[in-house]
Amino acid sequence: MTLVTDVRLRRVLDSRGNPTVEADVRTESGGFGRAKAPSGASTGEYEAIELPVGEAIAGARERAIPRLVGEVYAGNQRDIDNALRAADSTDDFSHIGANSAVAISMAGAKAAADVLGAPLFQHLGGTFRGDTFPTPLGNVVGGGEHAADATHIQEFLAAPVGAPSVEEAIFANAAVHSAVRDQLDEQGLSCGKGDEGAWAPSVDDGSAFDIVSAAIETVEDDVGFEIRLGLDVAAAELYDADKEVYRYGEQTRDTGEQIDYITELIEEYNLIYVEDPLDEDDFEGYVTLTERVGQGTHICGDDLFVTNVERLERGTEMGAANSILIKPNQIGTLSETVDAVELARRNGYEPVISHRSGETEDTTIAHLAVATDAPFIKTGVVGGERTAKLNELIRIEHNA
């Protein structure tokens, strides 16, 4: 019933107005799935390769579609993804592009779920699915690669860990986003938004901490549950490899000073989550930082691990970080995405499912977060491409 009978690819828009790949997959019984590939601005060196959309579509049509149509069953996700790997024949999807691969992989999963008449999270969940839902991490102030002339730290995140439901958590993050705007207005700091919908004021990192902390405190008083603060430092974007320092404007920090700085921030602001605090090649630095702060804070590797099992294996053997950011387009297939989640779980690392800065209305990651019982999901707070995931989480919660 799930034999793949048709795969179609097209160019569509992402949230930045750039082209991305959309895939449709149909099965012999009429099952249908559609998915779109996201795109990152702050990308790790070791991510699977996103090709220009025209090249990705042409490569997939020539190499992948003949291996899929009439040859594999959407009900077996591993078969679809193995066919994509075989069609590409490289480690980084440099022939068909990770953007074509991940769109087809996700569309295939949706087609299989459609045949079953089941929601995608149930099709993907297997033995993972627990009875909890992820806490959304909401980007409320941002800079770095997501916004010019704003903070050096890329994302200041609200984490409503005390929320009694996904729905309450989502609306709490929206309230923090609104409270940040009020704080900015009071200080005469008019500003626009970055790629993910976070406010992008022209302030230093210290001022941003004060603004977000005040907003969180205001919303906590209103909602009556705990909201913590998290960061995505995106340190690889700050790192000057030639000088071996992290550049915060005119100020520089060597690796030891960067570890001290992050430790101080964790202690001062009671941070629950710190993503990419060090360069993507500094496994040893991650070990030192993780040992220093213990398990009270999620030290999350994004550029460090890039959803790659081999890099995660190295990290877990060393004790570098204690959680991993999971982005399907970093590795190119859902099967390998779940492999990374499984390896993380076996080694006591928490998986954090994430969107990208260049997003679409696709809601696959909402289902993936629920299916894998992930403790957190990064989705942003506002904007249709972000709220698509958030609203889907609310639907899942109401129907679970």
The domain ranges of the chain are 4-117, 125-399
Catalytic position from the list 155, 196, 280, 336: 196
Dihedral sign, Cα of residue 90, residue 96, residue 98, residue 101: negative
The angle formed by the CA atoms of residues 129, 131 and 134, to the nearest 5 degrees, is: 80
**Is the model's pLDDT at 148 over the cut of 80?**
no
What is the pTM assigned to this prediction? 0.96
Under a CB-based contact definition with an 8 Å cutoff, are residues 188 and 180 in contact?
no
What the block records as the tokens of 154 is 């890329």
Q: For domain 4-117, which CATH number applies: 3.40.50.920, 3.30.390.10, 3.30.1490.20, 3.40.50.720?
A: 3.30.390.10
Rounded to the nearest integer, the mean pLDDT of the chain is: 95
The angle formed by the CA atoms of residues 283, 286 and 291, to the nearest 5 degrees, is: 130
Active-site residue, 196 included: yes
Under a CB-based contact definition with an 8 Å cutoff, are residues 332 and 21 in contact?
no
What pLDDT digit, counting tens, does each position of 99-112 carry?
999 999 999 999 99
pLDDT at res. 131: 73
**Is the model's pLDDT at 219 over the cut of 60?**
yes
Under a CB-based contact definition with an 8 Å cutoff, are residues 169 and 225 in contact?
no
**Is the model's pLDDT at 189 over the cut of 70?**
yes
Catalytic position from the list 327, 350, 359, 385: 327
Q: What is the mean pLDDT of residues 360-371?
A: 97
pLDDT at res. 61: 98
CATH 3.30.1370.10 matches 125-399: no
Tell me how far apart the alpha carbons of residues 82 and 103 are, in angstroms, rounded to a whole number: 14
**Is the model's pLDDT at 184 over the cut of 70?**
yes
Active-site residue, 327 included: yes
Q: What is the mean pLDDT of residues 314-318?
A: 98
- What proportion of the chain, given as a percentage, has pLDDT over 70? 98
Look at the block and give the residue holding tokens 């992948």.
Answer: 64
**Is the model's pLDDT at 128 over the cut of 60?**
no
CA distances from 256 to 144, 288, 289, 390 (A): 22, 9, 10, 38
**Is the model's pLDDT at 43 over the cut of 90?**
no
Scored b (16 or more CB within 10 A) or e, 146-160 reads bbeebbbbbbbbbbb
Nearest to 329 by CA among 366, 357, 356, 302: 356
pLDDT at res. 144: 81
Q: What is the mean pLDDT of residues 22-37?
A: 98
Q: What is the mean pLDDT of residues 204-221?
A: 97
**Is the model's pLDDT at 146 over the cut of 90?**
no
pLDDT at res. 44: 75
pLDDT at res. 149: 79
Under a CB-based contact definition with an 8 Å cutoff, are residues 392 and 367 in contact?
yes
